Chain A
Amino acid sequence: MFRLEVRSSTPAWFNLALPLLAIAVTLILCSGLIALAGAGVLESYGVMFTASLGDSYAITETLVRAAPMIFTGLAVAVAFRAKFWNIGAEGQLLAGAVASCFVGAIPMPGPLAMLLMAVAGAAAGAAVALVPATLRVRFKVDDVVSSLLLNSVIYYALMALIEGPWKDSFSGYPISPPIEDSANFPVLIEGTRLHLGVVVALIAAPLIWFLIARTTLGFRIRVTGENPEAARYGGIHVERVLLSTALLSGALAGLAGVGEVGGVHFQVMSDISPGYGYSGIVVAMLARLNPLGVVPAAIFLAAVMTGAEAMSRATGVPAFLSDVIQGTALLAMLVALLFTAYRIRRVGAAS
């Protein structure tokens, strides 16, 4: 017989071991589905690996995909640290994309355009995140529900925009006009899509880590998340901290949208995000809300996404497997997190 027992402390190596364990469990569980689809398990995972991380081009493609998830992962990690349950990174990303596309279409010198796109996108994301945070602080509205529902509101607003005023009158496609060429983010390696935004994402992670670990705002975010009552007693303005966290979180999610517009699509269309906002939740959980862990976690999910497409082409396993892997990884991680608070003990053997 086994049973769970409360632990008093969590060993440091768990931070690394748990996500790896979760990923291993996920791949084992999902191999059943691959077999069910009639393909070889090792062969399929082999194709996934080669296609996503097998050569330098594949790696750049995976990084390009990881970039938005690094931003949304950071957005969620920051929010969850303060126990601001921001499930709205998807909507904040879309808002950021629309705002940056709007700015990018205005003719001006390239560097200035890119800067303003980032500012506008971050501001738009922050504004969207402020809605559920304000509702919670002012009226005690549940932030999970309000931030989640807001995603649909933003999505349909975007659809209305590209089906209406932004619609391409020439082709009739529901897509926005493209941004100016000069506003396209520079590509860093010739022949790839590795754009400036990816580097910004990679730099953002340690910056956010620093903010959480080493600044008074980060301290207040941590304390507020862990125990709002003690925070208030200690003189922290809990409401103000929650609003600041929401602004920061929304801005990060907005930047995910900026990168997609400026570096990948150069315009806005209905499927500009294949759920990067939701993937950010998986990323943040795999990273155990540690901003530094967000980078490898996002790269893992990006590799699964790029790999799944190639696998589907090569072996006929539907690319939906990528979604299954993501979902399973989240569940596996949530179960694995149990082991940070509990240990398994064999009982009965002693007596």
Chain B
Amino acid sequence: MSAPFIEMRGITKSFGAVKANEAVDLSVAPGEILGLLGENGAGKTTLMNVLFGAYAPDAGEILVQGRKARITSSADALAAGIGMVHQHFHLAPRLTVLENLLIGIPGKSGRIDRAGGLARLAEISRQYGLTLDPDLPVSALSVGEQQRLEIVKALFRGAKLLILDEPTAVLAPSEVDGLFSALRSMAAQGLGIIFISHKLNEVRALTHRCTVLRHGRVAGRVDDPANTTSAAMAELMCGHEIVPPARGPSTPGADVLTLAGISTSGHSGTALRHISLAVRAGEILGIAGVSGNGQRALAEVISGMRSPDAGQMTIAGTRVTRFSPREVQALGLGRIPEDRMTTGLVTNLPLADSMVLPRIGTAAFSAKGLLKPDAIRAFAEEQIKAFDIRCPGPMVRAGALSGGNLQKALLARELAFDPKVLVVSQPTRGLDIGAARFIHEKFLAMRAKGCGIIVIGEDLEELLVLCDRIAVMYEGRIAGTLASADATVARLGLLMTGAEGRA
């Protein structure tokens, strides 16, 4: 192995009482793809932020090409050849691709060097197969293209090491392949890459070596990820074995949610076209599909955020008339939104507030317009215990919780009121295996209790484990529905591309 491009030695970083990193060593050689693994809150992002100059470590040092480097800002990091693609992109939405690339790069005599920029973009595109239209505004790009732009931006600034923090969490499976081939070609041309992901099959497919963090410390290293089982890696991450949940046979009851001929107009996102489906009590129905084929609109209609232009919906036998969040909730629908941070929770207010938000007007939490602070607190404390939500207490800012714990909190708030139907979007996006496992178990327990569940997701493996039936959405329609016994990744994949007709 060649000499490391980057070496981190003994990095320690605390936030108050929390030791996010403790004596962490990590190195990446040119041409190497290093996987960085760990449960939610293990300290992966913190470590990368230290490397990128966003946090000053309490102890430890960073060596770039064998020499000690002082990296105290992202500018220092870029100068040292380190680029980072954050999970939340840092782009100016109204500016074009090219303008975003040129931000902060001084041109000749204060002018923007457009021709030079174009030439460099073309070169990078050719070198790594990362094509982008330079004149499109960022707001017109898909999430995958925005990510590509972030990568190009780092390369544009001369990065020799690229940090990618959970890049695949926002991508559709088909986009992941494109990302991986670009990353492989970068590595082949001598760039170092640090890749963070909770999806172990991706890690095994892509990386050359892995460093595993647990509670801020290095729990172990994997030298040959391709020939290491996911189970072994998971055990290294969690400190114990993770058994996939077993979905027993179910005896579905009556329909608890039906949609008949639901259509929407398409002014925001893909329109729904005559969606008809039914979920029975004690059944888990998966909705698969490449993102952008109407899943968001479907979730919005079911959860009362949007009225359809045509069609009918019933919840537990009662017809929905107003399509408001309050109405569907009152009829017994539980909901977990796709975006927990922006739609689910109020990050700046206490966790307890988010946990009672949808039911604040009910007798449980208020009477005659007055809140019952003690009841609210008690409820939150109870759920924190029942769902093992790791946090300092119910009054902590919700935004301070890790993704897995936020998801547990949202699940807790819905399950506490015994919904007859549960609609969830991307339930385990960004969650570690342990947390995902926990969420899956809860779904299966609800199923056993006779709850009907709709899981909207892109992770086919997850849907196959969890669901009794899987419907595939394509261009706003249900392209087909398969019983999970008949469903395979290949068959679902065909339906997802619209290749197979109605099944």
- Residues in chain A within 8 A of chain B (CB atoms): 1, 3, 5, 8-9, 214-220, 222-223, 226-227, 229-236, 345, 347-348, 350-351
Instruction: Say if the beta carbon of B114 comes within 8 Å of chain A.
Output: no
Residues in B neighbouring A220, C-beta threshold 8 A? 360
Complex interface: chain A residues within 8 A of B325 (CB): 232-235
Whether the pair B72, A230 counts as a contact (CB closer than 8 A) is no
B54-62, B130-138, B167-175, B458-466: which one contacts chain A?
B54-62
- Give the distance in Å from the alpha carbon of A231 to the alpha carbon of B348 in the complex: 13
Partner of B353, one of A9, A219, A348: A219
Minimum CB distance partner of B345 in chain A: A230
- Chain B residue numbers with a CB within 8 Å of A9 are 16, 396-397, 400
> Which residue of chain B has its CB nearest to the CB of A348?
B72
Residues of B near A217 (CB, < 8 A) are 369
User: A49 → chain B, closest Cβ, in Å?
Assistant: 38
Q: With A233-B305, A235-B326 in contact, do A215 and B358 touch (Cβ < 8 Å)? A: no
How far is it, in angstroms, between the C-alpha of A300 and the C-alpha of B409 when the chains are bound? 43
Residues of B within 8 A of A218 (CB): 371
A233→B304 CA distance, assembly (Å):
8
B interface bracket (residues with beta carbon within 8 Å of A): 35 or more
A5 contacts across to B, CB distance below 8 A: 55-56
Q: B343 in the interface, Cβ–Cβ < 8 Å?
A: yes
Q: Mark B50-75, 1 if CB is under 8 A from A, else 0.
A: 00000111110100000010101100
Q: Give A144 Cβ to nearest chain B Cβ, in Å.
A: 20
Are B348 and A233 interface neighbours, CB within 8 A? no
> Which residue of chain A is the closest to B328 with respect to CB atoms?
A235
**A345-B56, A347-B56 known; A230-B370 Cβ under 8 A:** no
Instruction: Identify which of B57, B343, B354, B370 contacts A214 (C-beta below 8 A).
Output: B370
B192 CB-CB contact with A under 8 Å? no
Question: Residue of A at shortest CB range from B344?
Answer: A230
In Å, the complex CA distance between A132 and B58 comes to 50
Shortest distance in angstroms between B334's beta carbon and chain A's nearest beta carbon?
Answer: 12
Chain B residue numbers with a CB within 8 Å of A235 are: 324-326, 329, 358, 361
Encoded as 1 (CB less than 8 Å from any A CB) or 0, chain B from 338 to 374 comes to 0000111111110001100110110000100111010
In the complex with contacts A229-B342, A350-B58, A234-B369 CB distance below 8 A: no
- A223: which of B337, B353, B369, B400 is its contact (CB, 8 Å)? B353
Question: Cβ of B326: which chain A residues have Cβ within 8 Å of it?
Answer: 235
Known: A3-B73, A230-B343. A219 touches B360 (CB 8 A): yes
B303 interfacial contact with A, CB 8 Å: yes
> Given that A223-B349, A226-B348 are contacting pairs, would A216 and B56 also be in contact in the complex, using a CB cutoff of 8 Å?
no
Chain A proximity of B296: nearest CB distance (Å): 13
Measured in the bound complex, the distance between the Cα atoms of B56 and A236 in whole Å is 42
B373 lies within 8 A of A214 (CB): yes
Q: With a CB–CB cut-off of 8 A, which chain A residues contact B400?
A: 8-9
Which residues from chain B contact A351 at a C-beta distance below 8 Å?
Answer: 61, 68, 70
- What chain B residues lie within 8 Å of A215 (beta carbons)? 369-371
B211 CB → nearest A CB, Å: 23
Q: What residue of chain A has the Cβ atom nearest to residue B400's Cβ? A: A8
> Which chain A positions have C-beta within 8 A of B396?
9
Q: A215-B369, A219-B360, A232-B305 are in contact. List 19 more A-B contacts (CB 8 A).
A: A9-B400, A215-B370, A216-B360, A216-B366, A216-B370, A217-B369, A219-B366, A223-B349, A223-B353, A226-B346, A227-B347, A230-B343, A233-B303, A233-B305, A233-B337, A233-B358, A234-B358, A347-B56, A351-B68
Most chain B CB inside 10 Å of its own CB: which residue of A8, A222, A235: A235
Q: Collect the chain A residues with CB atoms within 8 Å of residue B329's CB.
A: 235
Closest to B327 in A: A235
Q: Say whether B366 contacts A223, CB under 8 Å.
A: no
B354 neighbours in A (Cβ, 8 Å): 230
B345 / chain A contacts, CB cutoff of 8 Å:
227, 230
User: Contacting A227 at CB < 8 Å: which of B61, B346, B361?
Assistant: B346
| Alpha-carbon separation in the docked complex, A5 to B14 (Å) | 13
